[in-house]
Amino acid sequence: MKQNLLITTALAVMLSTVSAAELRIATVDLNEVFNNYYKTKVELEKLKGEAKKYEDRLKKLEGDFGQLKTQLERQQKNAADPALAPAERKRREAAMRDTYLRMKEIEQSSQNLQRASREKLLQKRKNVTEDLVKEITQIVTVRAKAGNYNFVLDTGEALDVVSGLGRAVVLFNDGQNDLTESILKQLNATNPDKTSAPKAPPKKGAEKKKK
């Protein structure tokens, strides 16, 4: 949010100092492009397939757990028979403990699988989104240069809440009308100890000539 505000403010300052005829600005709804790109749909289907595999494994564990639970309940009922000899009661109680331990193992396996699958799917979703956005941005850059645009702005909503990617705002910048050096100079002008003020960074491409 703060980054978007700073970029918007910088653009407003730039537009106030440069005539509209000198700047060419295009817009792209990156969210719409991303969601309707055929590769996005292909990759999301792959992720759904992987998620389905994890779901099937979890259902299998749930089924095994349910069977053991039924078995434990039956064992508990049988072990409660007052007519049992001490040795037989001890044997049945040992069998109950074994069943209970197997249930705990399955429960732990299920929790581990849920956690691991969630982390893996989220990371894959993030990687897929980043790769596709990079590919889309490359096309935007090519089109912007071909159309002699100075800027291409994203007018869409935040791209992907799940993957953690925010809104890019500026998809292309030709590097002209950069205010970095002048703003830094203005800020450092208020430094009471001007002898220790950092020097403004050299402009990109500038080379010092040695005499």
Instruction: Note the pLDDT tens digit of each residue in 20-47.
Output: 557 888 888 888 888 899 999 999 999 9
pLDDT tens figures, 55-106: 999 999 999 999 999 999 999 999 999 999 999 999 999 999 999 999 999 9
Q: Give the mean model confidence (pLDDT) for residues 181-196.
A: 73
User: What pTM value is reported for the model?
Assistant: 0.68
More confident residue, 50 or 167: 50
CA-closest candidate to residue 110, choices 173, 164, 64: 64
DSSP assignment of 64-125, as one string?
A: HHHHHHHHHHHHHHHHT-TT--HHHHHHHHHHHHHHHHHHHHHHHHHHHHHHHHHHHHHHHH
Helix, coil or strand: residue 60: helix
Q: Tell me, what amino acid is at 177?
A: N
Is the torsion defined by CA of 85, 90, 95, 96 positive or negative?
A: positive
- C-alpha span between 87 and 77 (Å, rounded): 17
Determine the Cα–Cα distance for residues 132 and 160; give it in Å rounded to an integer. Answer: 12
